[in-house]
Structure 1
Amino acid sequence: AGRGYEVLKYFAPYVYRVAISNKRLLKLENDCVTFRYKDYKTKNWRTTTLPV
């Protein structure tokens, strides 16, 4: 008994994080969003545009 709180406390930082921060969002137009992401193979920042 009482272990639910410890489990919730452990997982909360992972569960309640946003998928992408506002500072990485570059543009929203024509039903598409453009954002920056880090390519961990090359260690460089890249941009991509996806439909929303």
Structure 2
Amino acid sequence: MAQKKVALACSVCGSRNYTIPANSNRTKRLELNKFCKYCGKYTLHKETR
């Protein structure tokens, strides 16, 4: 059985650059500062479902 995945979307441009495994223990949506190749800088990326 394959793992379910969720995407991390850039809060500036909205592009979904990263995917991570879904975790049922996580109650809040994950927010990380990651590099966005479309914006060319580190921006806040939020978990999408």
TM-score under structure 1 normalisation?
A: 0.31
Structure with bigger gyration radius: 1
Question: Which is bigger in relative contact order (C-alpha 8 A, separation at least 6)?
Answer: 2
